[in-house]
Structure formats: structure tokens, C-alpha cells
Structure 1
Amino acid sequence: MEKRNFSRITFNVGTVIKWQDKSLKGEVENLSLQGMLARITDPLPTGEEVEITIYLTGVSPQIPINLQGEVIRSSEEGLALKFIKMNTDSFIHLRNIMAHNTGDSSKVMDELFSFIKHKQESVDNH
């Protein structure tokens, strides 16, 4: 099992997962800078790439966060997704969500820098 490098928060907002010709609507159950668990009952194959849109509520107009992800696990709980690509705006929104909900923006940034350092060391060692 992969070790989590990021804090995870409960965050209930709408999401749409697009895979092939399907658009699956559901709700985000928990969220981190690295991935999320979405309550979606339709199973998807592990390892498949998907397009993810998370809809931030409470603002007008509603803000969509667009990401690309990979299905890590698919079960009755929902879909566990790892984020594999995001634009700068989406990253900033996720970082702000995490900082606000954990109440510790320095911890969020420390986790991010540690993750980047680990990834760079992995690249350097290969």
C-alpha cells in the first residue's frame, strides 16, 4: 500500500468523472493535494486515466477545478483517484482548500516540498 504524503480532509462537493464516453456524477468524500475519494457507484478499471472536475460551491459563479487522474481503487465505497496532472489555477485552489480546512498552511506547504524533494530524488536515482 502506498504511503500517504499529504493530509487528507473531508470535503463534500460535487464532482464529475469522465472516462471514455461516460460522465459519472458523484460527490467528493475526502481530498488531498495528491488525490481524492469520490462517492461514485459505477466501477471503473484500476489504472485507467480519467478527467476530473470538482465543483466548488458557495461562490458565484461556481468554480470548477479540472484535473487528470488515475483510478487507484474502485469499490462500493467509490473511486480512489490519484491526481496526475493539473494546471496552476487548479493547484492553487486545492492548496487553498487544504490550508483552510487543515488550519495549517505551513504544514500543507511542508508536505508539498517534501513530496517534490522525494520525487526529484527518485528521478535522480534512475
Structure 2
Amino acid sequence: MENRNFTRVDFSDGASISYNNHLVWGTVENLSLQGFYIRTSSTVKPDMPLDLPLDVTIYHPPHSSINVRASTIHCEEVGMGMKIDELDADSFVRLVDAVSLKSNAPAMIMSETYKMANYVKIVND
């Protein structure tokens, strides 16, 4: 049984993960204000670090990209679960909008937005 603190929504936008001079491409399959699951376009390298913040860009048209620092929580051969650690204010707004648009419970997402401040560092650009 899953024990989630934030609502997850189905999602299907492209993303890239940058680490150790590698760039991994994939598709974000589900998204919350606290994290996401990304299915990668190639086998994830076995040296993918766990619990180390990585730079992730979620390409969310027609809006600008959502740029986050996220830690890999679990890693599978073709994907990984990631927890958002840090993002800039513009990406924060775009993330909230993206989740709100896909959710059927906007009041819950608004409540989670306030709760998110306890889990994620929001930085200036």
C-alpha cells in the first residue's frame, strides 16, 4: 500500500537528468508537488546515485520548462522515482499549475502547495 503525502497525477512530458557528465532522457509518467517518476529512454546506468540531488528539467509545453534539483529515491532499469529537493520560484509556479491542471481536486492541490514549503527549498533565480 502506498503512503503518499502529495497527490500524484498522470503526466507525459519529456525530461532530462544531468549527472556525472551524463545526460539521461525520459518521460515523466506521474507528477506531484513533491516528486515524480521518470521512465528513461535508455537503460539507467548502474552508477546512478541514490539520495544525491541531480539537475532535472521537465519540458512542459506550452509553458517554459520546470527546473528542479531532485534526489533519486529508487532506480529501476528503465526508470526512477525522484523526490524534489529544490526549485526556483518560476518553476514552483509552473509545477503547481501542471499538477493543478491534471488534478480533479484543486482545493487539495492548493492545500498541498502550502505544505510543500516544509519539504522543498524554493530559491531565487
The alignment's TM-score, normalised by the length of structure 2, stands at 0.82
Superposition deviation, residue 64 in structure 1: 1.2
Contact (CA 8 Å) 1:13, 1:54: kept in 2 or not?
yes
**Aligned-pair identity (%):** 31
Cα gap change, 1:115 to 1:96, in 2 (>3 Å)? closer
Unaligned runs of 5+ in 1: 121-126
Go from structure 1 to structure 2 and tell me whether the alpha carbon gap of 1:114 and 1:86 turns closer, same or farther (over 3 Å shift): closer
Q: Does 1:55 align with 2:56?
A: no
Change (3 A) 1:75 1:91: same
Distance (whole Å) between structure 1 residues aligned to residue 78 and residue 16 of structure 2: 16
The CA deviation at 1:100 is: 1.1
CA distance in 2, matches of 1:4, 1:104: 16
Structure number having the greater helix percentage: 1
Partner of 2:112: 111
For the aligned residues, what is the CA RMSD?
A: 2.1
Aligned to 1:98: 99
Whose radius of gyration is greater, 1 or 2?
A: 1
Give the whole-Å Cα distance in 1 for the aligned partners of 2:111 and 2:67: 24
Check the 8 A contact 1:30/1:36 in 2, yes or no. Answer: yes
Q: Aligned partner of 1:31: which letter?
A: L
Conservation of the 8 A alpha-carbon contact between 2:34 and 2:116: no
